[in-house]
Amino acid sequence: MVDAAIRAEGVKSGARKRTSLRRMMQRKSTIAFFMALPLITLISLLVLYPAGYSLHLATLNKSMERFVGFGNFTFLFTRETFWMVVQQSCIFAITAVIFKALIGFVVAHFVHNIPAKGQRKWRGMLLVPWVIPPAMSCLAWLWLFDPSYSAFNWLIALFGGDPVPWTGNTYWARFSVILVNIWIGAPFFMIMYLAALKSVPEQLYEAAAIDGASWWQRIWYVTLPMMRNIIAITALFSLIVTFANFDIVRIMTAGGPIDTTHVFATWSFRVGIEGADIPLGASVSLFMVPILTVAAVFILRDITRRGNES
Amino acid sequence: MQKPRLSRRQFVATTAAASAVMIAAPFVRGARAAGKLAIGFWDHWVPGANDTLTKLVNDWAAKEKVEVSIDYITSQGNKNRLTIAAEALAKSGHDIFAFPTWEPQAYSKYLEPVSDVMEPLIKQHGQVNATVEYLGRADGKWIAVPATVGSQIKGPCSRIDLMKKLAGVDVQALYPAGGPPKADAWTLDAFLKAAEACHKAGASFGIGLGITSDSVDTAGAIFHSFGAALVDKGGKIQAKSDPVRQALDYLKKLAAVLPPDAPAWDDASNNKWLISGKGALIMNPPSAWAVAKRDAPQVAEQCWTHGMPAGPKGRYAPFLPYFWGVWNFGKNKPAAKSLLAALSTREAAEKMVAASGGYDLPSFAKLTDFKTWAEEGPPKGTLYHYPNPHNHQILSVAAAPAPPKIAAQIYTQGVQTKMVVRHLQGEAMEKTLAWAESECEGFMRT
């Protein structure tokens, strides 16, 4: 009798287990998890593992035989070039993002006002700089800025001007790399802002027009508030990508002249791979993380706050 | 049924017979009897040069019954250096790798000593120069074999006509084809005067002040010519020394008559400068001349490769050797060493030099007399002095004699050319020296 009771209990608990497993498998979150699993695995392999490994490398000495803790970071703080790279990375990223945002905003308005029939053609053409692989477009820009055979200098010479050392002088070299970054990145802002503009309800503009709002007031009191979140997210995304930029600086100036155009990624490559000091190179690249984290926290907090308010 | 029993005597007899058969039997070798060998060679600039190397390797492989696989890895974008770094970290990859100048020292702990290959080669082909020893030896052992492929001297390649017309210098008389140099008057002062004259006439010397190797090598050789070293052999920083001041002062004067965009030059800029017909002189191996031969023959026939000017402490020429090294985690070290010995014979070196149009250089003293250098043209004899056949220059590498791991940092970061640019742009000499001292301090970490 006892045995039978136990058996019955066992059968019941087995059935319950099967049912709960089935229920769990049928839950939307479980299905979503399994569907996302390949991506999670891919991200773990291609992002988390390299990130963890670079953290590990950054704690080793130059010959990678000894644990030195934060030794590489404290060493970097004593280097003049490192602080120049910090400064240059900030100048590069902030200036480029501001100009990309401004140009993107203006061009998005122009495109938005083009009649729907011809708009697709313009949208496609304006996206070209963004869709060309940067390595290719940078090479084309390099030829335009070439130290000795610059096409721009040829044009300047036609008008009797002196040649400009585009990549040979610190300020011109900084200008050149920032300009190329803006050229490549502005279409991304344009397309994001255009999408945001299209989602602004037309009634708001009509109401503003009835109230006698000027063009500028419509932009300031209707368009901008409606686009604030997309502006913030686009700026954050672009800031991260621009800060971590490698190809433009590497191809255009390789960090020169006298290191004045290096950003974190290019200097990290120079120190780590070309200088055979992989731990120090890893430390340089990791230095971007706290800076970008602070920027991300501030921007995302602002977005969340506005989301809650609305 | 009784089981057959093996007596002790029978066992001994059977074993002896079997052993005799085993020893006496002929050794049948299969096509891959000596295993596999994976090689990572440098991808040569010169079209067809890789084919000659492949053929040499395949001939050796057929003879030694080794299955070989060759990857030609370009140095464009530092792909070869990235591969070296990855293989060293993974402790896996090729058996043999072609290491650029400083890499054997950087990865010395992962390299199989090759003194057993180098010692017979030195006996056979003569000594190697001090730069090869400095870069290829660690802890008293050879860690890599100097490769013919990719090794180069970066001396001047002058325009015969422009130098004669604008600066009054007859480079062919200083360095006659087929004979020893008559270059006592070819000093750094004469070089500066010629540079000033050519600059004034609109045909500046095409010497870069960037941080790629062509720029760094020239600055390094001029530093050596003044006896200037940023860090000495013992690892002591000497940035604030008189020879460094003299070298910097000289280079500032020279930089003032170089193209204004020289700080942005890379290793292609000087080639373009020569081929476009703009400049009277560049510092380069004969690759620029070879391209000119194809693209601008009227320029090529006026080119003459010759020796460096002498400074107060001697006549130093930049020398950049490549090395073939064997990873100590490689799976077939005996075969790898055998191949390196085979690639270092006189016949093999001569074939490689011919295939590269005279660009490649063996590092051994007795291998500088190949007919390729004497016969290449136009003009005939233009490469005669390229391999330093009369040993009238000291072959050097920038940043030596600092301990190699420190020197590699000085070299890679282009400290010497950066010093020149900083000083040229108006920074006070002592401030530039203090900056260099601080940079070198940073390179001391282990």
Residue A30, pLDDT above cutoff 90: no
- Domain encompassing residue B415: 153-319+380-442
CB–CB contact B412 A270 (8 Å): yes
Residue A125, pLDDT above cutoff 60: yes
- Report pLDDT digits (tens) over B99-157: 999 999 999 999 999 999 999 999 999 999 999 999 999 999 999 999 999 999 999 99
Q: Using CA atoms, how far apart are residues B246 and B233, in angstroms rounded to an integer?
A: 20
Residues A53 and A83 in one domain: no
- Domain encompassing residue A53: 1-58
Q: Is B304 a domain residue?
A: yes
Nearest to A274 among B81, B276, B439 (CB): B81
Amino acid residing at A37: L
CATH of the domain at A232: 1.10.3720.10
Residues A268 and A138 in one domain: yes
Q: What is the pLDDT of residue A165?
A: 87
Q: What is the pLDDT of residue B27?
A: 41
- Report pLDDT digits (tens) over A167-192: 888 999 999 999 999 999 999 999 99
Q: Is A65 a domain residue?
A: no
* Residue B123 near residue B92, CB atoms below 8 Å: no
Q: What is the pLDDT of residue A281?
A: 93
CATH of the domain at B138: 3.40.190.10
Residue B368, pLDDT above cutoff 80: yes
Residue A5, pLDDT above cutoff 60: no
Q: Using CA atoms, how far apart are residues B319 and B153, in angstroms rounded to an integer?
A: 4
Residues B44 and B99 in one domain: yes
Residues B284 and B409 in one domain: yes
CB–CB contact A276 B435 (8 Å): no
Among residues B33, B127, B115, B106, which one has the least CA distance to residue B362?
Answer: B127
Q: What is the pLDDT of residue B376?
A: 86
C-alpha dist (Å) from residue A297 to A293, A300, B247: 6, 5, 51
Q: Is A68 a domain residue?
A: no
Structure tokens at B348: 């093999």
The residue among B365, B395, B424 that closes a domain is B365
The residue among A58, A81, A99 that closes a domain is A58
Q: What is the pLDDT of residue B14?
A: 64
Residues A34 and A111 in one domain: no
Residue A99, pLDDT above cutoff 50: yes
Which of the four pLDDT bands, split at 50, 70 and 90, describes residue A16? low
Residues B66 and B215 in one domain: no
Q: Using CA atoms, how far apart are residues B390 and B368, in angstroms rounded to an integer?
A: 9
Q: Is A28 a domain residue?
A: yes
Q: Using CA atoms, how far apart are residues A79 and B413, in angstroms rounded to an integer?
A: 13
Residues B304 and B359 in one domain: no
- Within 272-301 of A, beta carbons closer than 8 Å to B belong to 273-278
**Which segments of chain A does DSSP mark as H helices, in order?**
2-26, 28-43, 49-58, 71-77, 80-113, 116-126, 128-131, 134-145, 151-158, 170-198, 202-210, 215-218, 224-243, 247-252, 264-269, 278-286, 288-309
The residue among B306, B334, B365 that closes a domain is B365
Structure tokens at B2: 């009784």
Name the average pLDDT for chain B.
Answer: 91
CB–CB contact A276 B408 (8 Å): yes
Helix axis angle for B404-412 and B213-225, nearest 10°, is 120
Beta partners for residue A67, in sequence order: A60
Q: What is the pLDDT of residue A7?
A: 54
Residues A81 and A105 in one domain: yes
Least confident of A12-21, A65-74, B181-190: A12-21
Q: Using CA atoms, how far apart are residues A175 and A181, in angstroms rounded to an integer?
A: 10
Q: Using CA atoms, how far apart are residues B139 and B113, in angstroms rounded to an integer?
A: 10
Query: How large a percentage of chain A has pLDDT more than 90?
Result: 46
Residue B369, pLDDT above cutoff 70: yes
Q: Using CA atoms, how far apart are residues A276 and B409, in angstroms rounded to an integer?
A: 8
ipTM for the complex shown: 0.76
How many domains does chain B contain in total? 2
Q: What is the pLDDT of residue B1?
A: 43
How many domains does chain A contain in total? 2
Residues A35 and A91 in one domain: no
- Report pLDDT digits (tens) over B286-335: 888 988 988 999 999 999 999 999 999 999 999 999 999 999 999 999 99
- Report pLDDT digits (tens) over B263-274: 989 888 999 999
Mutate to test the interface with A, among B102, B416, B445, B446 (most CBs of A within 10 A): B445
Q: How many residues does chain A have?
A: 310
Residues of B with CB under 8 A from a CB of A: 78, 81-82, 85, 89, 102-103, 106-107, 109, 210-212, 259-266, 269, 272-273, 276, 278, 408-409, 412-413, 418, 421-422, 435, 438-439, 442, 445-446
- Report pLDDT digits (tens) over B14-29: 665 555 544 444 444 4
Name the more confident of A288 and A175: A175
- Report pLDDT digits (tens) over B393-446: 999 999 999 999 899 999 999 999 999 999 999 999 999 999 999 999 989 887
Q: What is the pLDDT of residue B25?
A: 46
Q: Is A67 a domain residue?
A: no
- Within 161-180 of A, beta carbons closer than 8 Å to B belong to 163, 165-169, 173
